[in-house]
Amino acid sequence: MKITVLYGTESGNSELVAEDLGAKLRETHDDVEIFDLQDFDPADLTAEHFYVVVCSTHGEGDLPNTAIDFAEKFDQLLPDLTGMRYAIFGLGDSFYDTYSQGSEHLDRRFTAQGAERVGEYGRHDASSWDMPSDIALEWLPGAMEAAGLALAG
């Protein structure tokens, strides 16, 4: 199965996480693509791919800059995502009430259109001393197992 890693970022942290997840996935899978959401058309979402979505939170729990156009196009298109499966990893800061809300904006859109989120909802808390990619790489095996997809040990 093709795996597509999508990320939305404001300061580049989600991009770094997406690149690290993509590198790990490529150890096992030949067909892994990584896209910034600003370069991905929601009309291209398909059940033929498994999606790993990484998204930060900006401002008052908003989507990051590179995810805004994607969300607006998505809302205009409202694609039928029946059969599409995805895992999601959000970045945020638990100091704020809007912790990890950026990713939740995408999660709500996907599930409303029929997509199925698999595995635990991954999250990184910027208030911790943990590196975002370290937490994401710990989260990834569970998400892939829930998707029924292998991952190199």
Q: Could you tell me the pTM of the whole model?
A: 0.95
CA distance 57 to 63: 6
Per-residue confidence (pLDDT) for residue 113, from 0 to 100: 98
**Which phi-psi region, left, alpha or beta, contains residue 48 (left: φ > 0; alpha: ψ -120 to 50)?**
alpha
Cβ pair 72, 41 in contact under 8 A: no
Token pair recorded at residue 45: 């979402």
Per-residue confidence (pLDDT) for residue 100, from 0 to 100: 86
Per-residue confidence (pLDDT) for residue 19, from 0 to 100: 98
What are the structural domains, with CATH classification, of the chain? 2-147 (3.40.50.360)
User: How confident is the chain (153 residues) per 10-residue block, as mean pLDDT?
Assistant: 95 96 95 97 97 93 94 97 98 86 95 97 92 96 92 72
Q: How many CB atoms lie within 10 A of CB 32?
A: 19
Cβ pair 15, 7 in contact under 8 A: yes
